[in-house]
Amino acid sequence: MKLFIDTANIDEIKEATKLGLIDGITTNPTLIAREGKEFMQIVKEICEIIDGPISLEAVSTKSKDMIKEAQGLAKIHSNVVVKIPMTREGLIATRQLAMEGIHVNMTLVFSPTQALLAAKTGAAYVSPFIGRLDDISHCGMDLVEQILTIYDNYDFDTEIIVASIRNPLHVLEAALIGADIATVPFKVIEQLIKHPLTDIGVERFLKDWEKVENK
Ligand code: G3P
């Protein structure tokens, strides 16, 4: 499973990439706004750090405008993937962009049939938001499982990015189901590393090593 980081915070991105296991990045307008910096400045810095797909979201609502905006974003760097919302206009734009060879990450996907449409229009990625479904008492992971079945049934190439991840259990379930990608907030990446028994084990080994003579 590929691991993307879901953030626009440059310090987090730098810290996470040190681990050597970040395959790409996803952002959205909320994450960008949180940084209080200019959009292009953030994007420039991300492009210098991340060697993999970089999802940037288009904020237009009409297909024509989405296409124009996406073309502009795609020109920034060859790694740029344009996030387009799963709307009627978004589908129209995605079809056109896919024909132009621009990679689309169809975002805000909450049903398996939306994901089917996303794949049919040629989206390179689909982003089911599982945390937001869990928030309203729908099992987000059921959605991922259904999308995987549909894509397997018809051999769609669209990759599934499990998004809106809130905790390590979400990452575990995504991996068990066989999702292509999990996009994970920095905090959750840190949680994935940690285990109290590892810490206790390291501490005990170091203590015992002190007792060894002539090291
Ligand atoms: O990748 C989409 C993600 O950023 C949304 O997360 O926590 O706002 O539902 P959240």
**Mean pLDDT of successive 10-residue stretches along the chain, which has 215 residues:** 98 97 98 97 98 98 98 98 98 98 98 98 98 98 98 98 98 98 98 97 97 89
> 109, 160, 164: which to mutate for ligand 1, most atoms within 8 A of CB?
164
pTM reported for the whole predicted model: 0.96
Residue 215: per-residue pLDDT: 78
User: So which residues are the catalytic ones?
Assistant: 83
**What's the domain range around 119?**
2-213
- Phi, then psi, of 185 in degrees rounded to 5: -65, 155
Residue 203: per-residue pLDDT: 98
Residue 42: per-residue pLDDT: 98
Total tally of structural domains belonging to the chain: 1
Whether residue 183 has its Cβ less than 6 Å from ligand 1: yes
- For the chain, give the DSSP string: -EEEEE---HHHHHHHHTTT---EEE--HHHHHHHTS-HHHHHHHHHHH--S-EEEE----SHHHHHHHHHHHHHH-TTEEEEEESSHHHHHHHHHHHHTT--EEEEEE-SHHHHHHHHHHT-SEEEEBHHHHHHTT--HHHHHHHHHHHHHHHT--PEEEEBS--SHHHHHHHHHHT-SEEEE-HHHHHHHH--HHHHHHHHHHHHHHTT-S--
Ligand 1 centroid to 64 CA: how many Å?
26
Residue 214: per-residue pLDDT: 84
Whether residue 105 has its Cβ less than 6 Å from ligand 1: no
The CATH number of the domain where 150 resides is what? 3.20.20.70
